[in-house]
Chain A
Amino acid sequence: MSRASDLVDATLAKVPSGVDADVRASVGNLALTRFANGFIHQNVAEDSETLSLRVAVDGRVALATTTNTSTDGLDALVDSAIAAARLSPVDPDWPGPAPAAAVPGIEHFDPATADASPRERAERVRSFVDAGAGLLAAGYCETSGGEIVFANTAGQRAEGRSSQAILDGIHQTPTSAGSGHAAGASLASLDAGAVGSLAARRARESADPFDLKPGEYEVVLAPECVATIAVFMAFYGFNAKMHLEGRSFAEIGETQFDERFSIWDDVTDDRAMGVPFDAEGTPKRKVEFVSDGTTVGLAHDRRTARKAGTESTGHYGPGSESYGPFPTNVFVGGGDRSVDDLIAEVDRGLYVATFNYCRVLDPKSLSVTGLTRNGTFMIENGRITGAVTNLRFTQSFVAALAPGRVLGVGTDGRFADSEFGAGFIHAPSMRLAGWNFTGGASG
């Protein structure tokens, strides 16, 4: 028996009969080595044990979470959750605990990554920094690993291990920056030198940028930009709670997007990360959101599934009662073009490496404002001809991917950093017919 399993069993044993309970234990570690100005300036690690208990007493629901996993801590956890539930009104939407169901037999776990030493992370940092001789490097190398065990009073039990490694950084010149990024379940799979070389090349090529007049430009977006588009679509659109409340742009069965655009969630993909069940214990399964331009599905948890008269897709997470179910193994469909091909097909436009600080103006149209960062390049007659200063955009992400607007999709899909973080959006480069830039360096 593992530590997480022991904690779950000990907690469940303390729950009085007649009370519905979900218990979830997460035991693991997180380490992050951060560098700036070319040296490691912050280097942290933690061991963690977190225990969550959701109870329903006669339909009255409460959640309690603790890091105190002593016997007294477990007693306090159970007492706190039940006391809170008893004082709460009946929850008419409480779906009950998940029934027993088999979990996909897949594990995205590399023991060497979970046990990676600070020296191993520092060596990756060294490689990244050295790839940009004469440049100023900043970024981080993160490793994590652990086990999650779930059990409830309805007989469902799920156990899984996962690991994650991320290397993300920039190189800087006095007038520019360029970024590189890699993520996977295994630290050994990350080529720190290659990531650093890409960042260094982008930094050098984007030096001495000029101000471009704002307006609509054709764009080639690198995977980081596409990942940000995808994460906003996932959170604001393919989230069944948003959809049930009329706040989502998604219209099931409608061809809302270009036929070149497909997006889905699939923890069973060999490339994915995380465990194959959600925090309600529901097994995750592949869910298509957009297939060849047509919106076909949504992410559900048990609460939204009950309201919509369907089944949970396994996308409940902490906070989903408030924010809705959220996919965490998102894939954007790849295409048949190299990045050079995508650029070669543009007469006049921009190549954008990353987006920055994106915020939603209107969720229904997914109108978003944000900026370009870490490499924005002018494309003329199929070639990159220079670098431009960062631009502000105000753009409906839905309209940008509308029928006829996706002109090409890359073969370079990979895990890319997004506005909401790294490690859960796999995306390729993409060429779009237009992007509405509304401001530049001078406003």
Chain B
Amino acid sequence: MFEYAQAAVEGALAAGATYADARVVHAREERIDVQNDTVQALDRTEQAGVGVRALYGSSWGFFATPELTSRRARRAGERAAEIAKASALVPGPPLEFADVPLVDATYETPFQEDPFTVGLSDKVDLLLEVNRIVGAVDGIAIAQSGMTFWDTDKWFVSSQGHRIHQHLVESGGGFDATAVGEREIQRRSYPQSFGQFETGGYEVVRRWDFLGNAQRIAEEAAALLSADEMDERETALILESSQLALQIHESVGHAIELDRILGWEAAFAGTSHLELSRLGTHRYGSDLMNITADATLPGALGTFGYDDEGTAAQRVDIVKDGIWVGVLSGRDTAAIAGLPPGGMVRADGYNRLPMVRMTNVGLLPGDSSLEEIIADTKDGVYMATNRSWSIDDKRLNFQFGCEIAWEVKDGKLGRMLKNPTYTGITPQFWATLDRLAGEDEWVFWGTPNCGKGQPMQVAHTGHPASPARFSQVRVGVRA
């Protein structure tokens, strides 16, 4: 497949590009979705093609085709260069590319059990059994379960001499129980909303023990219908780790994307409250807050060998002892900011332009435990599993809804509460982080549906997190 990528690069250079890179991608996806006792979707998707990026002056062009022949690949390179020349009608400032080592390399996701060779009936039988257990609980109207697997090969070539082949395998799934009341709907999900996804094989599904958790999750969903509503007030908030993972994703992960900070996403996803001039001095949160972007974590969903510009995966400090110290970057954004490139540029398939994406942006664990945190809380609430998420275009003003909560009184979990929400402003919220569970409860949560860019691109990102407490948060906001 390298020959097609090479032909695309040569086509772009021959048409006047000063730099070009190309990716041939062959990707397979299998998605199974089961509702109650019916397989709603059993979808298999295969996507293959070549995408080429060309630089002309300070302007970029990108073209993609699904036709994998040397002639079409070369023509795709020429088209990319033509588009770059059209971009020059509305040109930007001179563009530099941060240097990275030229590599000729391969990378493969470590996995134990190829998810595409596990019998389809084994997968479907497991999901049907989960739904049977969930659906047998009084009050449950809908039992939903699913799995998705991805197997992706990428061949990358650049005009500077990169030549990289990667084979990435990602697996996961989950289930949820929905209880429908007269005027409301309550839902509980496992392992988290939308399921849990990791790099690896079918062992990911086996490890999360869907069957062992089905009864509990269903009973919680049914119980929520008769639970009390949460009062609106300010109080201590303890977050279960998957909800904290999404909090990190939205209020840190997107805010530290250097393309957003530079204004490149202004019209769609928005910008950032962060200003580069304050890198190294801006207080993002309390001293307990240590965030890294680490694309090398074994098993995490945002792990790979090289990004789609050919830069090696790496760990970058983002927040250290509460101070903002790092960003997510690629070769062009890093050059503008005068920073080393972070190897965080990825594309959603052969036909999308590589752009700055989160890798595994996570909160390093502390030294406590959820049990200790609850025991140490006189008055507060414990919220688990995301239900809704919303944040403004500078990643400041957020509001999250969770599936379930319990009040915490005098160090013990009390009443179950439904429709829990909390809201805040990013730096003020993180400043109240005062307890953090340790490595034993540190989970590499995966987000398989991070949207960004136009045309829309969906990225797979990871967010390590352990349960944490925030001392003073507004909770219980409702319509």
Contact = CB atoms under 8 A, between A and B. Distances in A.
A168 interface: yes
B44 A48 contact: no
A436 B62 contact: no
Contact of B66 (A67, A77, A81, A365): A67
A305 interface: no
A399 interface: yes
Contacts of A245: 141-142, 178, 180
Given A80-B44, A321-B40, A439 B423 contact: yes
Interface string A110-126: 00000001110111011
Interface string B56-73: 000111111111000000
B39 A168 contact: no
A139 B266 CA distance: 8
Interface string A19-54: 000000000001011111111111111111100000
B93 to A, nearest CB: 8
Interface in A422-443: 436, 438-443
Contacts of B268: 140
A369 B399 contact: yes
B61 A87 contact: no
Interface string A216-247: 00000000000000000000000000000111
A139 B120 CA distance: 44
Interface in A152-193: 168-170, 172, 177, 179
A84 B44 contact: yes
A122 B86 contact: yes
Q: Is the interface of A mostly helix, strand, loop or mixed?
A: strand
Contacts of B424: 443
Interface in A315-360: 319, 321-322, 356-360
A28 to B, nearest CB: 12
Contacts of B388: 359-361, 369
Contacts of A35: 90
Interface stretch (B76-84, B150-158, B313-321, B458-466): B76-84
Contacts of A64: 43-46
A33 B263 CA distance: 16
A392 interface: yes
A386 interface: no
Interface string B33-51: 1010111111111111101
Interface stretch (B164-172, B285-293, B390-398): B390-398
Given A89-B124, A140-B454, A129 B44 contact: no
B229 to A, nearest CB: 11
Q: Which of A67, A76, A81 has the most CB of B within 10 A?
A: A67
Instruction: Give the size range of B's interface with the partner.
Output: 35 or more
Nearest to B79: A45
A435 to B, nearest CB: 10
Nearest to B391: A357
Interface residues of A, number: 97
A312 interface: no
A350 to B, nearest CB: 16
A370 B390 contact: yes
A103 interface: no
A32 B479 CA distance: 38
Contacts of B61: 43-44, 118
B455 A32 contact: yes
A208 B390 CA distance: 25
A385 B23 CA distance: 53
Nearest to A421: B456
B147 to A, nearest CB: 13
A443 B423 contact: yes
Contact of B266 (A36, A84, A121, A358): A36
B79 A129 contact: no
B414 interface: no
Contact of B86 (A85, A88, A93, A118): A118
A255 interface: no
Nearest to B86: A118
Contacts of B101: none
A442 B428 CA distance: 10
A168 B267 contact: yes
A136 interface: yes
A111 B266 CA distance: 31
B39 A91 contact: yes
A310 interface: no
A138 B90 contact: no
B264 A46 contact: no
B69 to A, nearest CB: 10
A73 B206 CA distance: 32
B89 A119 contact: yes
Please name the 5 residue pairs, one residue from A and one from B, whose CB atoms are nearest each other, closest first: A118-B86, A39-B92, A138-B267, A46-B64, A138-B266
Given A32-B454, A92-B38, 18 more contacts: A40-B91, A47-B65, A49-B67, A66-B46, A66-B47, A68-B66, A88-B42, A122-B86, A126-B89, A136-B266, A138-B263, A247-B178, A359-B390, A365-B184, A369-B388, A369-B477, A438-B399, A439-B423
Interface of B: 33, 35, 37-49, 51, 59-67, 79, 82-84, 86-87, 89-93, 119-121, 124, 128, 141-142, 178, 180, 183-185, 262-268, 270, 351-353, 355, 387-393, 396-397, 399, 401, 419, 421, 423-425, 428, 454-456, 474, 477-479
